[in-house]
Structure 1
Amino acid sequence: MRVPRKLVVALSACCLLLTATVTAPGAGASAFTCSDVDLPVSGPGLPVLLPPAPATMHGRLCLPNGPAPEAVQLLVHGGTYNSAYWDLPYGSGQYSYQRDMAAHGLATFAPDRLGTGQSSKPASPWMTLSAEAESMHQVVGHLRAGHVGGIAFSKVVIVGHSVGSGIVAAEASTYHDVDGVVLSGMTHIPAIPVLLLGVVFGLTPAFTDPALTALGSDPLYFTTRPGARSWLFYNEPDADPGVIAADEATKDQVSVPGMGTVAVFGIVLPATLGINVPVFQAVGEKDVLFCGVLALRDCSNAQNLRAQEAPYYSPSAQLSTFVLPGAGHSLGLHENAGAYRDATRDWLRDRLGVVA
C-alpha cells in the first residue's frame, strides 16, 4: 500500500496551497513575516484493511526578513493543543516561540497535528504514534524539498512539547531525517498518579465541550475540562492569568488511543534510544506531570536531570538538558519562558551551528 500513498502525496504536492498572512505587529514585528500553508500528507490507515487516505496538514511558517535561512525548526505541539501553543494570541507576542525565534533571525514551521486545528481530522482510533510520526516525516520532506515558503531548508530541527515530544522521538528514531531534536515537557518516567487524576478529573470528550462541538469529533477525541489547564499545565505563581485564559480559549482535542500509544511507545519504552543526532531536553522545574517525587525525577537543575535521563539516549544524541525554574508543564507559556527560548538558541548555535 505504500506505493499508492506516496503517489498521492507526490501528486498532491503539485497543488500546495500557500496563503500569505503577514503577522499583526507587536514591537519589532517588521523584522519578520508569517504565512499559512496547507501541505498534503497521507492520513493514518491500517495495512490492507484501511489504506491511508489523503489528508491536509495546516501550519504557519515564520521567517525573518532578509536572506532565506538554511535551517528551520519544525514545531510539534502537545495533546489538547494546536499550533497556537507556539504562537499564543495574547499580549504583544512575548509568549510566542515563533515570533521570538523569527525576531532573532531563525525560521520556524508550526503545523496543526492531524486531528487538530485546521488540519484534517481522521477517526481517532487510527491516530497512533506511527501515524503521527509518518505525517511529520512527510512534513520534513516538504521542508527540505522547498514546498514550504519556496525555501529548500538544508537543516531541519524537530521540536516537540509533551505528547508532541513522544511523536518527535518516534519520528527522529524511525526516519533519521532531521539534524537535531528538541524535547520539552517530558521525562521518561511520568507521574502516573497525577496522570490518572488528570485523565479522570481533567479530561472530557471533545464533543461535550461547547467550545469544540463544531469540530464534529468522534467520542474518543478528548479535551480538557474548563479550568483544568491551570493545575495540569501551569505553576500558577509563574504564570500570567491572561495566558491561562488564552490557552483555554485556543485549546483543542487529542485522540485518547493515540495519546496512549505515544505515552507507551514514544516516551516510556522509549523511542529516544534510536535518535542518532544531538538532543536538547527541557522541562519546567514544577512540572507535576513529569517531575517530582511521584515521577521519580529530580528536575531541580539540569545536571540532575541529565544524570537521570542519559540512560535513555545513545551516545550519539550528545544529550543536553535544561530546567526552567518555577515553570510547570507548558514551560513555553510561563512568565520566564524567554530563558527557555534563549537556552534553545544557544544549543542550536553551539551544537548544530544554526545562526541567524
Structure 2
Amino acid sequence: MPVRLAVALVTCLALLGGCVAAHASGAESPSCTETDLPVTGPDGPATMHGQLCLPAGGPPAAVQLLVHGGTYNRYYWDLPYDPDRYSYQRDMAAHGYATFAVDLLGTGRSTRPPAARLLIGAEAASLHDVVGHLRAGRAGGVRFGKVVIAGHSVGSGIVAFEAARYHDVDGVILTGITHVPSVPALTTGAGTGLEPAFLDRRFEGADPAYFVTKPGARAGLFYAKNDSDPRVIAADEATKDEVSAPGMATVAVFGIVMPATSGITVPVFQAVGGSDVLFCGVLALRDCSTAASLREQEAPYYSAAANLTTYVLPGAGHSLALHENAGAYRDATRAWLTACFGL
C-alpha cells in the first residue's frame, strides 16, 4: 500500500494545473464493438465509423471521444499488435474508462469526401454530431453524461477547433502538438515523407489531394528509436491511412497561426513526447524536457478557464501512445480525468 500511494502521489505531482488529483482504478476485461453513426459531411449526409470500448460491469457515466492524427485512423488508439501494452482503448477499459475511437471522414470505414472539401470546419462539424450521439445513447445504447474529447497531432488541431466552436464537451485532451512546431522538421518530413495516396496500391484511385506516408517514413517521423518496438512500427505501417492535404493546411492555420485553443472554456490536458522531433526541441523553439517548462510556454495560448495541465512522456517521439513507455502517459491521463472530473 505505501508503494501504491507513493506512485499515485508522484503521478499527481507531475501534472501541472488547478485540479487536485486523486486516482483509483481496477483492472477489468473490456468489451469493444464497432458502429456507424450518421454525421454531417461537407457535401451532405455522411457516415462516421467508430469503436466503442466499455469496461466490464455497468457502463461509466463518461466517455473519451478519441480522434486520430493525419495518416492514421482509429487503429492509432487500438493497434492490432500486443494490445495489452499498446492499445489505449483496451487499457482504459481495463481501468474502468469508456472510449469511442472514430475514423475521421476520409479515413478507415468512414465516408470519404473530396479532399478539397475536407477542411477543419467540416471535420469539427462531424465530430460535433458524434458528441451528440454519445450523449443521446446512439453508440452502443449508452447515454454518457460527460464527454471528454481527445486528439492526436492533426486530430488535436481538429479537436481544439471543435471544442472552441461548439462548447459541447466537458474536457479536452491534446497530444502530439505544440503551438510552435519545428517548421524545418515539418517541411522536410512533408517533402520527403509524404506522397499522393494513389501511388500506394492500397489507395489506388484515391483523390489526388489525399496523401499518405511513403514506405519506411513513419519510423523517422513518428518514433524515437530508443523507445520504440520495430514490430509496432510495422503494425503502424500496415494500418496507415490517407489524409487530406488541404485539410492539414487549415489545421495548421487554426491550430498554430490563429490558435483555436484560446476559445476552449473547459479543462485541457496537453501531452507530448519529450523526443518529438516535429513539435519539440531546439528547431521547434519548445523546451519539452519537463511538464513545467512546457506549461510555461503553452499557457499563453489558452484561457484561464482551460486550467491547462501539461505532461511530457520522457524519451517518446511524436506518436507517444505507441511508444514502449506509453503506459505512463495513460496513467497520467487517468490521473487528470480523476482530478478534474472525479472519473
TM-score (norm 2): 0.91
Q: Shift in Å at residue 269 of structure 1?
A: 1.5
Structure 2 residue 203 is the aligned partner of structure 1 residue 212: yes
AA of the residue aligned to 1:152: R
User: Corresponding residue for 1:33?
Assistant: 31
1:215-294 residue pairs with structure 2 within 5 A?
Answer: 216-294=205-283
Q: Shift in Å at residue 92 of structure 1?
A: 4.1
Give the whole-Å Cα distance in 2 for the aligned partners of 1:91 and 1:154: 32
1:274-326 per-residue CA deviation (whole Å, 9 max, x = no partner) reads: 00000000000000000011110000000000000000000000000000000
AA of the residue aligned to 1:140: V
Give the whole-Å Cα distance in 1 for the aligned partners of 2:195 and 2:325: 30
AA of the residue aligned to 1:38: D
Secondary structure, counterpart of 2:174 in structure 1 = strand
Structure 2 residue 135 is the aligned partner of structure 1 residue 137: no
Q: Shift in Å at residue 91 of structure 1?
A: 1.9
1:71-90 residue pairs with structure 2 within 5 A?
Answer: 71-90=62-81
User: Corresponding residue for 1:43?
Assistant: 41
1:154-206 per-residue CA deviation (whole Å, 9 max, x = no partner) reads: 00000000000000000000000000000000000111111110111000001
AA of the residue aligned to 2:307: Q
AA of the residue aligned to 1:210: R
Q: Shift in Å at residue 212 of structure 1?
A: 2.6
TM-score (norm 1): 0.88
Identity of aligned residues (%): 69
Greater relative contact order: 1 or 2 (C-alpha under 8 angstroms, separation 6 or more)? 2
The equivalent position to 2:115 in structure 1, one of 109, 121, 124, is: 124
Q: Over aligned residue pairs, what C-alpha RMSD do you find?
A: 1.1
AA of the residue aligned to 1:37: T
Relative distance call for 1:165 and 1:70 in structure 2 (3 A) is: same
Secondary structure, counterpart of 1:346 in structure 2 = helix
Secondary structure, counterpart of 1:125 in structure 2 = helix
User: Corresponding residue for 1:316?
Assistant: 305
Q: Shift in Å at residue 263 of structure 1?
A: 1.1
Give the whole-Å Cα distance in 2 for the aligned partners of 1:307 and 1:168: 22
AA of the residue aligned to 2:33: S
Greater mean deviation of Cα atoms: 233-242 or 88-97: 88-97
Structure 2 residue 311 is the aligned partner of structure 1 residue 349: no
User: Corresponding residue for 1:327?
Assistant: 316
Give the whole-Å Cα distance in 2 for the aligned partners of 1:251 and 1:29: 30
Relative distance call for 1:92 and 1:77 in structure 2 (3 A) is: closer
1:234-272 per-residue CA deviation (whole Å, 9 max, x = no partner) reads: 001100000000000000000000000011112332000
Secondary structure, counterpart of 2:84 in structure 1 = coil
The answer to whether the Cα contact below 8 Å between 1:87 and 1:93 also exists between their aligned partners in 2 is no
Count of residues in correspondence between the two structures: 318
Q: Which runs of 5+ in 2 are unaligned?
A: 1-25
Give the whole-Å Cα distance in 1 for the aligned partners of 2:35 and 2:129: 14
Q: Shift in Å at residue 30 of structure 1?
A: 6.7
The equivalent position to 1:162 in structure 2, one of 127, 135, 153, is: 153
The answer to whether the Cα contact below 8 Å between 1:222 and 1:255 also exists between their aligned partners in 2 is yes
AA of the residue aligned to 2:123: E
Structure 1 segments of 4+ aligned residues over 3 angstroms from their partners: none
AA of the residue aligned to 1:236: K
AA of the residue aligned to 1:325: P
Give the whole-Å Cα distance in 2 for the aligned partners of 1:282 and 1:202: 24
Give the whole-Å Cα distance in 1 for the aligned partners of 2:120 and 2:36: 22
The equivalent position to 2:173 in structure 1, one of 182, 191, 203, is: 182
Secondary structure, counterpart of 2:178 in structure 1 = coil
The answer to whether the Cα contact below 8 Å between 1:285 and 1:300 also exists between their aligned partners in 2 is yes
Give the whole-Å Cα distance in 2 for the aligned partners of 1:190 and 1:254: 19
Q: Shift in Å at residue 68 of structure 1?
A: 1.4
The answer to whether the Cα contact below 8 Å between 2:28 and 2:96 also exists between their aligned partners in 1 is no
Give the whole-Å Cα distance in 2 for the aligned partners of 1:93 and 1:230: 22
AA of the residue aligned to 1:154: G
1:5-42 per-residue CA deviation (whole Å, 9 max, x = no partner) reads: xxxxxxxxxxxxxxxxxxxxxxx997221000100011
Secondary structure, counterpart of 2:163 in structure 1 = helix
Give the whole-Å Cα distance in 2 for the aligned partners of 1:98 and 1:353: 19
The answer to whether the Cα contact below 8 Å between 2:28 and 2:93 also exists between their aligned partners in 1 is no
Structure 2 residue 190 is the aligned partner of structure 1 residue 199: yes
Secondary structure, counterpart of 1:186 in structure 2 = coil
Secondary structure, counterpart of 1:306 in structure 2 = helix
Give the whole-Å Cα distance in 1 for the aligned partners of 2:139 and 2:276: 34
Q: Which runs of 5+ in 1 are unaligned?
A: 1-27, 45-51
